[in-house]
């Protein structure tokens, strides 16, 4: 039985983004997300990424905690 790991690094892989620590830190520092915009509605996602994030949040899937963490990290300003 394989247990899937849900981490910020694996989330970035799921989104098709570089998943090393430096790339994640850079992405977060370059992409601010205002409080009044839902994570999946941010303009910096492509359609596939936005759909994945929307589905995760709608279904409160296993990824939801990691996606919520990413949302909080992007609201740094």
Go through the domains of the chain in sequence order and give each one's CATH number. 35-77 (1.10.10.1130)
Which strand (E) or helix (H) includes residue 39?
none
Which strand (E) or helix (H) includes residue 70?
helix 64-74
Rg value, the chain, Cα: 12
Question: The dihedral of CA 77, 49, 47, 18: what is its sign?
Answer: positive
Alpha-carbon gap, residue 67 to 63, rounded angstroms: 6
Write down the pTM of the prediction.
0.87
Q: pLDDT digit of tens for each residue in the chain (77 aa)?
A: 444 678 999 999 999 999 999 999 999 999 999 999 999 999 999 999 999 999 999 988 788 999 999 999 999 75
């Amino acid at each position: 039985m394989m247990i899937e790991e849900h981490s910020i690094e694996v989330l970035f892989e799921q989104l098709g983004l570089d998943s090393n620590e430096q790339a994640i830190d850079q992405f977060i520092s370059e992409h601010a997300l205002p409080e009044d915009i839902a994570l999946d509605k941010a303009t910096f996602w492509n359609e596939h990424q936005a759909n994945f994030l929307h589905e995760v949040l709608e279904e409160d899937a296993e990824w939801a905690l990691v996606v919520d963490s990413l949302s909080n990290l992007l609201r740094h300003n």
